[in-house]
Every structure is written in C-alpha cells, then in structure tokens.
Amino acid sequence: MTSTLIIGSTGLVGNEALKALIASDAFPTLQTISRRAPKQTSAKLSPTVLPDTSAWAASLSALTPVPTTLISSLGTTRAQAGGIANQWKIDHDLNLEIARAARAAGVKHCIFVSSAGTRSLLASRMPYSQMKIGVEDGIAAMGFETAVFLRPGLIMGEREQMHAGQGVTTAVVRGLACLSQGLADGLGQDADVIGKAAVAAAKIVQEGKAPSNPWILEASDIVRLGRTEWKE
C-alpha cells in the first residue's frame, strides 16, 4: 500500500495539495508532520503535530508505514521568519534535513515546490533563489527513484498573513488574465492549481511514468497538470 507524506500541509499550497490528496482514491494513506494541526481531516489521514521542527526528521524516520512519496511545500517569508538567516533555516536547511531523513527511511519519490527563476541569470544574486537552488541540487543528489521540482511563479490565494505588495501583484496578474490568460498563467498560478499539480505529479511518479529524473515542472506544466488536465 502506498503512503504519501506532506510537509508544509498547513501552508497555502500544502493545504490545497492535502485537500486534493484526500479527495483522490489514488492515495489511500496520508501522513503529515507540522507545527500545528492541518485544516483538513480524513479517516485516511494520520497527522503528526510537533511544534519543534528539530524533531521532524526523527519523527519521519519512525513513521509506519514508510511513505512512498514525500511532497514538500514547506516555506516561509523573510518577514515571517524574522530575517533572511532564519528563512534560510526553514526554506533550505529544514527541507534538506527532511529529504535526507526521507531517503534514509526508504521513501522512493520526492516532490518539492520550488520557485520560478531559480536558474535565471540573476539567481546567483538573489538569496531566495539560492535557497531553492540549494534544495533542488541537494535532493537531486540524494538518489531518490524520482525527484520532481515544481517551479511556480507568484503563488496566488488567500493567505493568513497577506502583505500589501502580494495583494497588489496578485491583482495585476488577475487583471492580465482579461487580456491574455497565457501571459497571466506564466506569471502566477493559484495555490489550488499548484497543489493539484503536485498531486498529479505524485500519481504519475508512483505509476512509474515520470518523463525524467529530476522532472522539472515549469509554470506551463503546473497549469496543465493542475488545471487543464486535472480530473476531480
């Protein structure tokens, strides 16, 4: 029996991914590790709530059954973390610690929600991109049967803490959709579309149908899997 572990299940994208996993018959057993309880509940969901993130790796190693697939949408903002150094500890260090523990436990597939622009010419000058590059490269070198990296643009949706700039940028992208849906899709994607794309990718890798390893999902791929081809 396959089991899927979600890290970041209380966040914007992770909550949507968990919702889609619960609704799908393709995922009979679900597990989460988080600092607070997920919003979603289900008979097939076994949540582990640990406020101390330093205990997450050990908790993962003890999960039964051993997860087949890890989906991580774990991340925070510089403002919420209290600076770039603290953000790095979560977005980079904790993601890699969890991935290493997953690989050691026997997890076969790792799906990581990264970010657009991580390989751009300016990426080396941007700390946020450096965090995502470090996680992608680290996971790719761990020897997972399949590694999948989603690279969404602006993540749109109702956040618990919305900064003014996020609201303005989201409004601009949604406005562009009136002129060109393709242009808008390339700039930003709704959280539910990203979450569904991660779930669609999980189903594909568990069926052994991933086209490459690592498998990179850019904005157009996310929209295709999470909206155009998505089946409830």
- pLDDT tens, position by position, 118-137: 777 777 778 888 999 999 99
Please tell me the distance from the alpha carbon of residue 198 to that of residue 214, in angstroms, as a whole number: 14
- Given a cut of 80, whether residue 142 has pLDDT beyond it is yes
Please tell me the distance from the alpha carbon of residue 77 to that of residue 11, in angstroms, as a whole number: 12
Return the higher-pLDDT residue of 83 and 6.
6
CA 51 to chain centre: 20
pTM reported for the whole predicted model = 0.91
* Ordered structural domains, the chain, with CATH: 3-156+190-228 (3.40.50.720)
- Given a cut of 70, whether residue 81 has pLDDT beyond it is yes
**Residue 130 carries which side chain, given as an amino acid letter?**
Q
Other Cβ atoms less than 10 A from the Cβ of 71: the count is: 31
